[in-house]
Structure 1
Amino acid sequence: MQVTFKGTPMTLIGQPLKPGEQMPGFTLCGPELEKVESEMLTGSKVFLSVPSLDTGVCDAQVRRFNQAAAAFRGVTVYAVSMDLPFAQARWCGAAGVERVRVLSDFREREFGKATGTLIKELGLLTRAVFVVDGQGRLTHVEYVGEVAQHPDYDAALAAIHALQG
């Protein structure tokens, strides 16, 4: 999997995931600096891997999923970045984001390594979307080829709606 950042090729650490595979395990950091184990995140879920919430595309992406999440039944949306939990909480408050849960990979970088989203050169996560069913199986995977571009919202939202029957 090759991604670029403003046209420059980047190296991703870890293996890219594919639809039909099981979502790998990982540990993230929650808003109160608590450990959040992947096993604690039950049910159908969406993981938005983003470089930083304080950038224009990431801001727009998480806001769009926050708005769409009002129609999701039984699906939890998580935005994962290397941002510190304090910065994530500040951003959510300022942006009015209440339906997307933010988690940080700043400590162990386990999420980035497990999902093949850790950018070696930048120490950030690349932009990706993972839709996971209630049994932990990936039903939709998108690694955005250019980090500074938006994901395919229509494809991700269609995959989320398919989870709901």
Structure 2
Amino acid sequence: MDTATQFGYLALQIVSTLDVKATKPEVLLILARYILHRKAHSKEILPLLQEGYATALEVGKPEFAGYNANTFCFNSFWCGQPLATLEQETRAYYNALVQLNQLTTANYCRIYWQSILKLLGYGNHVGILSGEALTEAEFLPLLSANDLAGLYNPHSALHFVTQSLVIINTYF
């Protein structure tokens, strides 16, 4: 892992030194999503993903804007960011990705967004991921049979949180 981290930073240094902006979104994504998450806290990775998103927009690479935004929303969701701020950021990324026609990554952001809304107390059914951002019954057919991980992660998080709250309220 140390060698991968060194090579990742070397790639970032080369791209920055040579001012090769067209490649920077890919380098930042690979560094943040596949390398640094093993060596650094998710909060430390978020600025790299934001930079990757902004640079991708600047150089006209909407698909990498989508990948960086999706990874930003995912990492933000799991690293304890304040929910109100996280909801606003995720909503903004979702709307931007829809405008860029990056619908697959926008849909992942949409799943995180709805999960955040659930954690903020919006929605009636605890176990169903439906509300303002998406309706689970309408959304499930859009996912391919091999692409259920995006829906599984927030579902498992919501289940854990709600069950923990039940235990806390019951015994404490």
TM range, smaller chain: under 0.3
Question: TM-score normalised to the size of structure 1?
Answer: 0.27
Question: TM-score normalised to the size of structure 2?
Answer: 0.26
Task: Name which structure has the greater RCO, CA cutoff 8 Å, separation 6+.
Answer: 1
Q: When you count strand as a share of all residues, which structure comes out higher?
A: 1
Larger Rg, first or second structure (1 or 2): 2
